[in-house]
Amino acid sequence: MFLKLEFQEHKLSSAGLSSATRYLLGILITVLSAALAFVIIRSEKAAPDLATLATNKLNLSGVENPVTAVLLNFRSYDTLLEIAVLLIVAVSILPDRLPIPAATAKIQFLSNMHPHSVNPVLVGLLKWLIPLAIVMGGYLLWTGAYTPGGAFQAGAVVAGAGVALSLAGHHRFIWQTASVRISLSLGLLMFVMVAAANAIITGTTLQYPTPYAGSFILIIEVAATVSIAATLLLLFTQLKAMVEFTMKGNNQ
Amino acid sequence: MTHFSIMMLLPMTVGLPLLAAIVSVIINSHRWRTSISTMFATIQTLIVILLLLAIPDADGLYRYTLGGWGAPLGIDLVVDGLSLILLLTTTVLVLVLNLYSIWYFSDVATSTRFWPLWWLLVAGLNAAFIAADAFNIYVALEMIGLAAVALVALTGTRTALVAALRYALVGLLGSLCYLLGVVLLYRAYGTLDLAQLATQTQASPLTGSALCLISVGLVLKTALFPLHFWLPPAHANAPAPVSAALSALVVKASFYLLMRFWLDVLNPTVTGITANFLGVLGAAAILWGSFAAFRTQRLKLLIAYSTVAQLGYLFMLFPLALTGSSPTPLSNAAVTAVTYFIIAHALAKAAMFLAAGNILASCGHDKIDKLQGLVCYQPLALLTFALAGVSLIGLPPSGGFIAKWLLLNAAIENGQWWWVVVMLGGGLLAAAYIGRVINIAFSQASTEKSTGPMKTVPERHSLQVNLAMPGLALAMLAILLGFNAQWILNLLEGSIELHLANAGGVQ
């Protein structure tokens, strides 16, 4: 919905403030920041650190990477709500009109645009690059249990594959399909489902039964990867559509 | 076994709205989406009522350990009388606004967006009310902020988009200030759990800076004068049910968190001067908000400015609860009075925005000067507006009257008579701006054609009644609240005892 905003040349740099006000604001912010920095440097760090506590409990978390343990086990509720934030973004930018008349073709998420000229080198590269990116995403997802990696990184790489496909110009994404709506909400759906299942199994929401903790975390991460990749790709294609729309408007 | 089932209700207050949001994303039929939303809203109401019945058995406090890890490592949820009352207010308003929105959003494209965002907003609100962890509150604030921005932009008009963008930037600034404060608290005390923080906090420069940053962030989100500049355009340009939720619930969530931090978690850092400073800003908000409401040309802007004014009353809490003769900061009547005020204002303001939405829909505009003869063709909307107005002004026997009465009592008991003057003045100003609308609505339509309803809609009469009823019900509730004061006061008593138990650890 934000795409309808016509972007014109605004003089945002000055924001309508006089130069004296801007200097005063600058001085004020500098002084406040300096005071804050001074207070922080003078202060002492609290002795019992949560990081050591998390490391001590790592063997109970089902994964070996402390970051994944915190994100998806110790503080999984925060991550659950963050996935919900992603869904808010996705719903807000989901286009409401089809780019093509609905009757002309069967609506699929990925549709060929049948361009006049096809670059064979580009097609050849994409045939290698896109499967590679998807495999790489899978690897990052799997390795998140042991080393840095996980759903967000994997989702970003998979979305990158989609961006490459979109930039090549041979295909177009149609966001009004049921599969899109399911992919966008899959991460949150799986997370809520796992939380509910845990409540039945162990009696406490989001408490995984210890031997299966790793499996539950993997289920959530796979679903989250799909949603994150879909949301990032949606963001990219919508921004691209907005730029194209603006350029078309300027040319006329 | 019964204990187990009741415990489960607390995480369900967040899980259920999330599930409703997912279902309304996936389902692509307007009819199914609305029926399922109504079902979810009903279940949510039942859950909160069950929680309400269960709480007295648990000594006024319920703690739920998510993931079984426990406070410093994991995240807890906590509910007491105060958060329960806010949960109840939220769920009742969600149920009524849900019904209104079914008829209001008949356009498919808008409704596809509205329902998921609506439920995500509700999930964020509930998460904020039951949060017991400082970082978890940040995530909940982000959810509320982003969902609210997207809902404001729903109409897609240029003014709405500009208001939404400004709202987004302000919300972001507020969230980041809050987050920085939380980081400082973590450095100082090594925990994020609010109860553990409350037992450890001492007045120090670092804690003081944290309180400053957290307060600036939350005050920005609560739109206290002079940081209210984003509120009138955002609330006035949103669709009617969204305006109602924004004014009734969203600003209250950040105020509730401010209450928690000032009265409980970071209480040792609070000084009399800072508490009075917030009080002075609140007083300025009452006067400036009411004055701006009186001068504005548009009905929805009037109601939005009235929110700025009414939020000022809430900030009377800080000087009344934290300074003066009261022995312990949390035992006095100001907390009760302000909580009562929150409920009364939520009901009345939601009713008023729904009425304004109906007037806007039938007239095609909401210019106050051109509303002559409104009483003839929108009698129910005007009745709703007037009843809600009675509560906002604080006339007996409305909920607003009881709330103001409690607040005035608290001020007099503390010997701070100057707040009484401001509050009574604010009531008079409210009477002036509400009376102005009613006066014009009852006046004879002039001979000009432009004053009548833009579209005559006899065939949509049933829809008109459907749209009028939810607002009227809320306005009636706002009035009836005045007759059932004791029930809410009893619930709050439990909450205050809990606060004392928490604060006991400090002394």
Q: Out of B163-177, B332-346, B390-404, give the one with best mean pLDDT.
A: B163-177
pLDDT attached to residue B495: 56
User: Which residues of A are less than 8 Å from B136 in CB distance?
Assistant: 77-78, 81
Residue with token string 């400073």? B277
User: Which residues of B are less than 8 Å from A69 in CB distance?
Assistant: none
SS3 A104: coil
Residue of A56, A75, A194, A231 to mutate, testing the B interface (most B Cβ within 10 Å of its Cβ): A75
User: CB-CB: which of B67, B117, B187 is closest to A88?
Assistant: B117
Same domain, B450 and B493: yes
Q: What is the CA radius of gyration of chain A?
A: 24
Give me the mean pLDDT over the A172-181 stretch: 86
Same domain, B240 and B355: no
Q: pLDDT-based confidence at B334, cuts 50/70/90?
A: confident
Share of chain B above pLDDT 90, in %: 53
Give me the mean pLDDT over the A202-220 stretch: 88
How do strand A171-173 and strand A110-112 relate by DSSP bridges? antiparallel
Is residue B191, in this structure, part of any structural domain at all?
A: no
**Closest alpha carbon to B344 in B395, B391, B396, B410:** B391
Same domain, A198 and A102: yes
Does B100 score more than 50 pLDDT? yes
Same domain, B243 and B277: no
Q: How far apart are CA B397 and CA A73, in angstroms?
A: 51
Same domain, A119 and A28: no
In Å, how far is A32's CA from the nearest CA of chain B?
10
User: CB-CB: which of A74, A81, A188 is closest to B74?
Assistant: A74
Is residue A17, in this structure, part of any structural domain at all?
A: yes
Question: Angle at the Cα of B225 (from B224 to B229), degrees rounded to 5?
Answer: 95
User: CB-CB: which of A47, A76, A84 is closest to B67?
Assistant: A76
Q: Determine contact: A53 vs chain B, CB below 8 A.
A: yes
Same domain, A22 and A84: no
Amino acid found at B491? L
Give me the mean pLDDT over the B217-224 stretch: 94
In Å, how far is A116's CA from the nearest CA of chain B?
33
Same domain, A118 and A153: yes
Does B209 score more than 80 pLDDT? yes
pLDDT attached to residue B333: 78
Is residue B318, in this structure, part of any structural domain at all?
A: yes
Is residue A93, in this structure, part of any structural domain at all?
A: yes
* Residue of chain B whose Cα is closest to the Cα of A208: B67
pLDDT-wise least confident of B166-170, B205-209, B361-365: B361-365
pLDDT attached to residue B500: 45
Cβ neighbourhood burial of A146 (10 Å; 0-12, 13-18, 19+): exposed
Q: Determine contact: B191 vs chain A, CB below 8 A.
A: yes
Is residue A4, in this structure, part of any structural domain at all?
A: no
Q: pLDDT-based confidence at A103, cuts 50/70/90?
A: low
Q: How far apart are CA B471 and CA B393, in angstroms?
A: 18
Give me the mean pLDDT over the A160-178 stretch: 87
Same domain, A36 and A54: no
Is residue B250, in this structure, part of any structural domain at all?
A: yes
User: Which residues of A are less than 8 Å from B66 in CB distance?
Assistant: 76-77, 204-207
pLDDT-wise least confident of B157-166, B381-390, B457-466: B457-466
Give me the numbers of helices (H) and strands (E) for chain A, helices first please. 8, 2
Q: B174, B481 in Cβ contact below 8 A? A: no
Same domain, B229 and B279: no
Is residue B204, in this structure, part of any structural domain at all?
A: no
Same domain, B244 and B291: no
Q: Determine contact: A178 vs chain B, CB below 8 A.
A: yes
Same domain, B126 and B155: yes
pLDDT-wise least confident of A2-16, B12-26, B69-83, B436-450: A2-16
pLDDT-wise least confident of A136-145, B10-19, B176-185, B447-456: B447-456
pLDDT attached to residue A145: 83
pLDDT-wise least confident of A111-120, B284-293, B299-308: A111-120
For residues B35 and A15, the model is more confident at B35
* Residue of chain A whose Cα is closest to the Cα of B209: A36
Number of domains chain A is built from: 2
**Residue B472 to residues B103, B170, B243, B248, B409, Cα–Cα distance (Å):** 15, 33, 16, 16, 30
Give me the mean pLDDT over the B320-331 stretch: 60
Residue pLDDT, tens place only, B221-261: 999 988 999 999 999 999 999 999 999 999 999 999 999 99
Amino acid found at B84? L
pLDDT attached to residue A167: 87
Is residue B147, in this structure, part of any structural domain at all?
A: yes
Q: Do B11 and A195 touch (CB under 8 A)?
A: yes
pLDDT-wise least confident of A76-90, A220-234, B266-280, B365-379: B365-379
Does B320 score more than 90 pLDDT? no
Is residue B240, in this structure, part of any structural domain at all?
A: yes
User: Which residues of B are less than 8 Å from A74 in CB distance?
Assistant: 67, 69, 73-74
Residue with token string 């749209």? B467
* Residue of chain B whose Cα is closest to the Cα of A81: B139
pLDDT attached to residue B324: 59
pLDDT-wise least confident of B25-29, B284-288, B381-385: B25-29
Does A102 score more than 60 pLDDT? no
Q: Which helix (H) or strand (E) holds A112?
A: strand A110-112
Is residue A140, in this structure, part of any structural domain at all?
A: yes
**Residue B507 exposure: Cα atoms within 13 Å on the Cβ side:** 11
Q: Do A46 and B156 touch (CB under 8 A)?
A: no
B 12-71 near A (Cβ less than 8 A): 14-15, 18-19, 21-22, 25-26, 28, 64-69
**Closest alpha carbon to A220 in A239, A247, A195:** A195
Same domain, B437 and B320: yes
Q: How far apart are CA A227 and CA A233, in angstroms?
A: 10
Alpha helix segments (H runs only) across B227-332: 231-237, 240-245, 251-260, 272-295, 299-314, 317-322
* Residue of chain A whose Cα is closest to the Cα of B9: A205
Same domain, A30 and A108: no
Is residue A108, in this structure, part of any structural domain at all?
A: yes
**Closest alpha carbon to A41 in B484, B433, B187:** B187
Q: Determine contact: A83 vs chain B, CB below 8 A.
A: no
Q: Do B112 and A96 touch (CB under 8 A)?
A: yes
Q: pLDDT-based confidence at A227, cuts 50/70/90?
A: very high
* Residue of chain B whose Cα is closest to the Cα of A3: B156
Q: How far apart are CA B250 and CA B148, in angstroms?
A: 8
Same domain, A149 and A212: yes
For residues A248 and B412, the model is more confident at B412
User: Which residues of A are less than 8 Å from B26 in CB distance?
Assistant: 178, 181-182, 185
**DSSP assignments along B304-333, one per residue:** HHHHHHHHHHHTTHHHHHHSTT-SSTTSSH
Same domain, B433 and B492: yes
Q: What is the mean pLDDT of chain B?
A: 86
User: CB-CB: which of B68, B188, B209 is closest to A46?
Assistant: B188
Give me the mean pLDDT over the B133-151 stretch: 95
Q: pLDDT-based confidence at B496, cuts 50/70/90?
A: low
User: CB-CB: which of A42, A53, A81 is closest to B139?
Assistant: A81
For residues B222 and B498, the model is more confident at B222
User: Which residues of B are less than 8 Å from A94 in CB distance?
Assistant: 112-113
How do strand B61-66 and strand A110-112 relate by DSSP bridges? unpaired
Q: pLDDT-based confidence at B459, cuts 50/70/90?
A: very low
Q: Do A53 and B140 touch (CB under 8 A)?
A: no
Q: pLDDT-based confidence at B122, cuts 50/70/90?
A: very high
SS3 A173: strand
Q: pLDDT-based confidence at A252, cuts 50/70/90?
A: low
Same domain, A77 and A112: yes
Can you give the residue range of the structural domain that contains B490? 271-507
Is residue A202, in this structure, part of any structural domain at all?
A: yes
Q: B289, B305 in Cβ contact below 8 A? A: yes
User: Which residues of A are less than 8 Å from B181 in CB distance?
Assistant: none
pLDDT attached to residue B258: 94
Same domain, B476 and B349: yes
Can you give the residue range of the structural domain that contains A165? 50-251
Same domain, B327 and B404: yes
Is residue B12, in this structure, part of any structural domain at all?
A: yes
* Residue of chain A whose Cα is closest to the Cα of B210: A36
Number of domains chain B is built from: 2
A vs B: CB pairs below 8 A? 166
pLDDT attached to residue B190: 87
pLDDT attached to residue A205: 87
Q: How far apart are CA A127 and CA A170, in angstroms?
A: 13
Q: Which helix (H) or strand (E) holds A110?
A: strand A110-112
Beta-bridge partner residues of A110: A173
A 137-156 near B (Cβ less than 8 A): none
pLDDT attached to residue A50: 82
Q: Do B205 and A39 touch (CB under 8 A)?
A: yes
Q: Determine contact: A12 vs chain B, CB below 8 A.
A: no
Q: Do A43 and B18 touch (CB under 8 A)?
A: no
SS3 B462: helix
Same domain, A36 and A103: no
Is residue A3, in this structure, part of any structural domain at all?
A: no
pLDDT attached to residue A80: 95
Same domain, A74 and A128: yes
Residue pLDDT, tens place only, A25-37: 999 999 999 999 9
**Residue B336 to residues A200, B185, B417, B485, Cα–Cα distance (Å):** 38, 28, 19, 11
Same domain, B424 and B483: yes
Amino acid found at A50? L
Q: What is the mean pLDDT of chain A?
A: 84
Q: Determine contact: B362 vs chain A, CB below 8 A.
A: no
Same domain, A35 and A54: no
Same domain, A25 and A98: no
pLDDT attached to residue A62: 83
Q: B361, B467 in Cβ contact below 8 A? A: yes
Does A100 score more than 70 pLDDT? no
User: CB-CB: which of B65, B113, B190 is closest to A50?
Assistant: B190
**Residue A110 exposure: Cα atoms within 13 Å on the Cβ side:** 10
Is residue A2, in this structure, part of any structural domain at all?
A: no
